[in-house]
Amino acid sequence: MEDDSNGMPITVSIIEDDDGASAALVKLLSGEPKVRVLTRYATGEAALAGVPAETPDVILVDINLPGMNGIECVAALKARLPALRILMLTTYEEADLIFDSLRAGASGYLLKKRVPDELVPAVEQVYEGGAPMSMQIARKVVAYFQQPRPVSAAIETLTPREEELLRLLAKGSFDKEIADTLGISINTVRAHLRSIYEKLHVQSRTEAVVKYLENRRR
């Protein structure tokens, strides 16, 4: 990877299905001499076909993509290019999506409403190995790690099937993969997840996995 301190710009590719939003990102980045935009992709599938060949320094990824969603795209890209630096750009502030994005391999998470002010510094930070986040997102991450640890009694209320599902989640499996492995429907997977969230008093699959693994180590 080239170092922009030697005059080489940071190369950036964009995965965004909204043409207007994608064009706005290109316009914003094109005004920055330290950054060079390579390619815009409208789907995760197209990005998987093109990114490995162009190997950008940083990729900007929207979560709400048609077909393969942004989080699934991030996981697939990181599996092929472990050193790739990925920055999520989204309107979503839900803890579930934040932690699933980070677990999939994203290095940072920015809200689109903060893009005009934060995007260029965030691209530079993630390129240098940082983990930039919009302020609202950083607060959610801090709050998550400050919350009280779960009691093991809650884990004991899980059914064997729910524990099996959690083990698959801990391996990074997505809903469809879990459904195929367990021989159940995606709707049944989601029903089990709702039950797990209620029993463990959590709001995301990442929190559920963390609580489950922590208590199993005791």
Domain CATH code at residue 196 = 1.10.10.10
Q: Smallest Cα–Cα separation from 216: which of 154, 165, 146?
A: 154
Both 116 and 208 in one domain: the answer is no
10-35, pLDDT tens digit by residue? Answer: 999 999 999 999 999 999 998 899 99
Please tell me whether residue 61 adopts helix, strand or coil conformation: strand
Residues 108 and 45 in one domain: yes
Task: Single out the residue in 115, 144, 173 at which a domain terminates.
Answer: 144
More confident residue, 141 or 37: 37
Checking if the pLDDT of 152 tops 80, the result is: no
The answer on pLDDT for 148 being more than 80 is: no
Rounded Cα distance between 14 and 60, Å, is: 5
Mean pLDDT of the 86-114 span: 88
Q: Final residue of a domain: which of 144, 162, 180?
A: 144
The three-class DSSP label of residue 201 is coil
The per-residue pLDDT for 216 is 61
The answer to whether residue 218 scores a pLDDT higher than 60 is no
167 and 136 within one domain: no
Q: What is the pLDDT of residue 70?
A: 94
Q: Band the pLDDT of 80: cuts 50, 70, 90.
A: very high
Helix (H, G, I), strand (E, B) or coil at 167: helix
Our count of domains for the chain comes to 2
Cα–Cα distance measured from residue 138 to residue 81, given in angstroms and rounded to the nearest whole number: 26
What is the dihedral sign for C-alpha 60, 66, 71, 72? negative
Domain that holds residue 169: 152-216
What pLDDT, on the 0 to 100 scale, is given for residue 209?
A: 80
Residue that terminates a domain, selected from 144, 177, 207: 144
Distance CA 92, CA 62 (A): 10
